[in-house]
Amino acid sequence: MDVCSFVQFNHKGRTPFLIGLLVGFTICNFVYFPTYFPTYLGERKPRPPSYANMSKRRTQQLELSATSVPGTVAGPTIPPGPVHPTPFNITDPLSGYVNVLKDKDPFKRHCSVCALVSTSGHVLNYTAGEEIDQAECVIRMNHAPVSGFEKHVGTRTTVRVATHTNFEEAWREITHIISTENRSSLIVWGPDRTMRTDGKGETYNYLLNLTKASTDVEFYMLTPERMTYSHKLFDNETALPGRREIWLSTGWFTMVLATEMCDRIKVYGMSNGDNCSRREIWLSTGWFTMVLATEMCDRIKVYGMSNGDNCRDPNAYPAVYHYYDKGRGKECDEYNRMEKLKKQTHRFFAEKKVFGRWSKYNNITFHFPTWTPKE
Ligand X SMILES: *[C@@H]1O[C@H](CO)[C@@H](O)[C@H](O)[C@H]1NC(C)=O
Tell the smallest beta-carbon distance from residue 92 to ligand X (Å).
Answer: 3
Q: Which stretch binds ligand X (CB under 6 A): 35-43, 67-75, 226-234, 252-260?
A: 226-234
C-alpha 132/C-alpha 30 separation (Å) is 45
C-alpha 82/C-alpha 233 separation (Å) is 13
Tell the smallest beta-carbon distance from residue 143 to ligand X (Å).
Answer: 16
Residue 166, helix vs strand vs coil: coil
Per CB under 6 A, 86 contacts ligand X = yes
Q: At residue 347, what is the residue type?
A: R
Footprint of ligand X on 98-137 (CB under 6 A) = 112, 125-126
Residue among 112 and 134 whose Cβ is closer to ligand X: 112
* Residues paired with residue 140 on neighbouring β-strands, in sequence order: 160
* Residues paired with residue 363 on neighbouring β-strands, in sequence order: 299
CB within 8 Å of 348: residues ≥ 6 apart: 284, 286, 308, 335, 338, 339
Give the one residue of 317, 325, 333, 336 binding ligand X; rule: CB under 6 A: 317
Residue among 45 and 340 whose Cβ is closer to ligand X: 45
Q: Is the distance from CB of 156 to CB of 138 less than 8 angstroms? A: yes
Closest CA to 231 of 196, 280, 164, 170: 280
Q: Is the distance from CB of 123 to CB of 323 less than 8 angstroms? A: yes
Per CB under 6 A, 299 contacts ligand X = yes
Does a cis peptide bond (omega within 30 degrees of 0) precede residue 314? Answer: no
Per CB under 6 A, 158 contacts ligand X = no
Per CB under 6 A, 236 contacts ligand X = yes
Q: Which stretch binds ligand X (CB under 6 A): 26-34, 88-96, 185-193, 336-344?
A: 88-96
Per CB under 6 A, 6 contacts ligand X = no
Tell the smallest beta-carbon distance from residue 42 to ligand X (Å).
Answer: 12
Per CB under 6 A, 214 contacts ligand X = no
Binding site for ligand X (CB under 6 A): 51, 53, 55-56, 86, 89, 91-92, 95, 112, 125-126, 155-156, 181-182, 205-206, 209, 229, 232-233, 236, 271, 275, 298-299, 317, 363
